[in-house]
């Protein structure tokens, strides 16, 4: 269990309606500042600290909560990094000025690739601007913010263009990436074949960049979760309940919330209770999901694992070459 991670679901609201996103968006409260800070205190008590992830929905719709957590985390030596995952629409000069000098932040922005593919599934609510255009308009400022990661979601219909979209995102100046194939949706054998070819294309792009000495970081090489897509740790949901996994974010899985709940902020679980419940999550998913959806999820995860394993040796060569170059300098 990734017990060294606190995940705060600050809101389930979102200003986009992405076709592949499973998050339940309506009818849920927003985590208050006091409850978010209480969750941090419990995390220190139970686990002694670690990293924090701020999720939604769209976390920047609860900007006051996000800012309070970031400011508190900066004061706590027990907290390592704070990950803020956003669709980018809430970013502005004020947020970027703050994040530019924030010592613990990792800003993760969701972009799927070229404009048409990004807009194909990321549809905004009425009165909300285009996410791609907004993020691109901020590129000069974003390039001055340390540790910006782009998550490239790859649904089945764009799997064949995964490499093309990856190169486009690189052309915007980004060099830290996280790949996210579409989980918990059915994939045909043909689409899985396209995903494999897309990953091979991305691999060639990454290895070529490393051989040329270019900066290129793939977060997937350094993360390992026991459950595909969902995160494991101490999860505080917007209703103050505590879980070992955020599988309940999915509308199709929300009935699992009663099974995964191990307490709340008033009656928190022990570390042992969290870890015992975490061990049961995959079994819950397999019994709840349609067989084709579960098998597709395992299949796309296997393709991502195959890609990562194929990159470890080139990455080690890249790191050695950089070290040798620094020593020579």
Q: Which of 98, 169, 181 is nearest to 139 (CA)?
A: 169
pLDDT at position 125, please?
85
Q: Residues 294, 298, 304, 308: what is their CA dihedral angle, to the nearest 10 degrees?
A: 150
Per-residue exposure over 223-237, b if at least 16 CB sit within 10 Å of its own CB, e if not: eeeebbbbbbbbbbb
Q: Which of 285, 262, 303, 193 is nearest to 3 (CA)?
A: 262
Q: Which two tokens stand for residue 71?
A: 């400011």
Strand, helix or coil at 145? coil
Q: Which two tokens stand for residue 126?
A: 């009425």
In tens, the pLDDT along 264-312 reads 999 999 989 998 998 888 898 888 889 999 999 999 999 999 999 999 9
Q: Measuring CA to CA, how many Å separate 221 from each of 69, 168, 307?
A: 27, 21, 9
Domain parsing of the chain, residue ranges: 5-328
Range of lowest pLDDT (181-190, 212-221, 317-326): 317-326
Per-residue exposure over 139-149, b if at least 16 CB sit within 10 Å of its own CB, e if not: eebbeebeebb
Q: DSSP readout, 284-327?
A: HHHHHS-HHHHHHHHHHHHHHHHHHHHHHHHHHHHHHHHHHHHH
In tens, the pLDDT along 62-116 reads 999 999 999 999 999 999 999 999 999 999 999 999 999 999 999 999 999 999 9
H or E element at residue 9: strand 5-9
Q: What does the mean pLDDT of the chain come to?
A: 92
**CA-based radius of gyration for the chain:** 20
Place 24 in a pLDDT band, splitting at 50, 70 and 90: low
Q: Are 37 and 71 in contact (CB under 8 A)?
A: no
**Alpha-carbon distance 262 to 172, whole Å?**
43
Averaged pLDDT, 135-149: 95
> Is a pLDDT exceeding 70 seen at residue 25?
no
pLDDT at position 311, please?
98
At which residue do the structure tokens 């194909």 appear?
120
Phi, psi of 153 (to 5 degrees): -80, 140
> Is a pLDDT exceeding 60 seen at residue 38?
yes
pLDDT at position 122, please?
86
pLDDT at position 329, please?
58
pLDDT at position 319, please?
94
**Is 5-328 in CATH node 3.20.20.70?**
yes
CA angle 226-232-235, nearest 5°?
165
In tens, the pLDDT along 224-257 reads 878 877 888 999 999 999 999 888 777 667 778 8
Q: Which two tokens stand for residue 62?
A: 């609860």
């Amino acid at each position: 269990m990734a017990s060294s991670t606190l995940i705060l679901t600050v809101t389930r609201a979102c200003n986009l309606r992405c076709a592949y996103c499973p998050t339940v968006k309506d009818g849920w409260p927003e985590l208050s500042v006091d409850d978010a800070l209480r969750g941090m205190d419990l995390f220190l008590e139970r686990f002694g600290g670690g990293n924090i992830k701020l999720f939604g929905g769209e976390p920047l719709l609860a900007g006051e909560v996000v800012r309070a957590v970031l400011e508190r985390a900066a004061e706590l030596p027990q907290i390592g990094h704070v990950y803020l995952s956003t669709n980018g629409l809430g970013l502005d000069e004020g947020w970027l000025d703050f994040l530019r000098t924030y010592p613990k932040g990792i800003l993760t922005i969701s972009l799927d690739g070229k404009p048409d593919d990004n807009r194909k599934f990321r549809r905004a609510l009425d009165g909300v601007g285009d996410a791609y255009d907004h993020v691109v308009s901020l590129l000069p400022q974003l390039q001055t913010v340390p540790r910006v990661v782009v998550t490239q979601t790859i649904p089945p219909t764009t799997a064949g263009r995964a490499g093309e979209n990856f190169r486009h995102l690189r052309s915007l100046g980004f060099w830290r990436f996280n790949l996210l194939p579409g989980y918990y949706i059915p994939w045909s054998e043909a689409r899985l074949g396209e995903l494999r070819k897309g990953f091979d294309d991305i691999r060639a792009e990454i290895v070529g960049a490393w051989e040329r000495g270019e900066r290129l970081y793939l977060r997937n090489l350094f993360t390992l979760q026991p459950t595909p897509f969902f995160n494991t740790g101490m999860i505080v949901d917007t209703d103050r309940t505590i879980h070992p996994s955020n599988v309940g974010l999915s509308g199709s899985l929300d009935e699992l919330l009663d099974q995964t709940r191990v307490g709340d902020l008033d009656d928190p679980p022990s570390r042992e209770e969290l870890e015992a419940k975490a061990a049961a999550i995959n079994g819950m998913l397999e019994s709840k999901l349609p067989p084709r959806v579960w098998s597709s999820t395992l299949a796309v995860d296997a393709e991502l694992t195959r890609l990562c394993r194929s990159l470890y040796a080139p990455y080690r060569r890249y790191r050695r070459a950089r070290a040798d170059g620094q020593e020579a300098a």
